[in-house]
A and B are shown apart, each in its own frame.
Chain A
Amino acid sequence: QSALTQPASVSGSPGQSITISCTGTSSDIADYDYVSWYQQHPGKAPRLMIYEVTNRPSGVSTRFSGSKSGNTASLTISGLQAEDEADYYCSSFTSSSTLAFGGGTKVTVL
C-alpha cells in the first residue's frame, strides 16, 4: 500500500483538461512544499514533470501545472494530447526525512 493516494485511472479526450489528485497527511504534503510529479511511459524510467508543487523543469510543456491545498496535491494537464497517455506518480518529502510515492494514475486519452 502506497503512502500517498492517487486515483487508479483518469481519462479525457484530446484537447480537454484533466486533474490527478494525490492525497497525503499532515506529515508529508500538508507540511512541506516538496511535492513532485513524474510521468512514466511503459518500460521507461520516470520523468520529472513538476517539482516543489508548482515548478516545471526546463523542457516540460506549459500544459502541465501543479497545485496544492492542505494535504492534497494536484496535477493538471491542459489540452490533452495522445503523447500524454502514461502513468503519473506523485511524491512528497516526509517528516521522517524520507520520500513517499503515490500508487500511480493511468491517464488514458480517449
Chain B
Amino acid sequence: QVQLEQSGAEVKKPGASVKVSCKTSGYRFTDYYIQWVRQAPGQGPEWMGWINPHSGGTNSAQRFQGRITMTRDTSISSVYMELSRLRSDDTAVYYCARGTIINDYWGQGTMVTVSS
C-alpha cells in the first residue's frame, strides 16, 4: 500500500533552518510528483511547492522562493523540504502529499515550532 512517512516534530529558533523528510513506499517513486503543503494552527492549507522525483525539478510558491529547497534521494525513495531563515509565523504542520493537482496520499504531518 502507498505510504508517505514524515520525520518527527522540530523546535527551532528564529533565523534557523529546518529540514523535513518524506519517505515513500508502495509505488514507483519517480512516477508521481511530491508536493509540500503547510497548515498553520487553525488555518487552511498553504501550498509551498512541488518536486519532480524523476528529474529533481522544482516549482515553489513565490512567497517561499529564496527560502525553500526541495530535494530527493531516489535510492531511498525520499524527498526533503528545507526552509531557511525561519520566523515565528512559519510555525505550522508541514505535509508532503503525492501528486500535484490531485493529492491522493498524504504524510502524517510534521509539526515545526519556531520560538525563541
Contact = CB atoms under 8 A, between A and B. Distances in A.
Interface string A58-92: 00000000000000000000000000000001010
B59 A48 contact: no
A41 to B, nearest CB: 13
Contact of B101 (A93, A102, A103): A93
Contacts of B43: 103-104
A2 B44 CA distance: 7
Interface of A: 2, 34, 36, 38, 45-48, 51-52, 57, 89, 91, 93, 97-104
Interface of B: 35, 37, 43-47, 59, 61, 95, 97, 100-104, 106-109
Given A45-B95, A98-B59, A103-B43, 5 more contacts: A34-B101, A34-B102, A36-B103, A91-B47, A99-B101
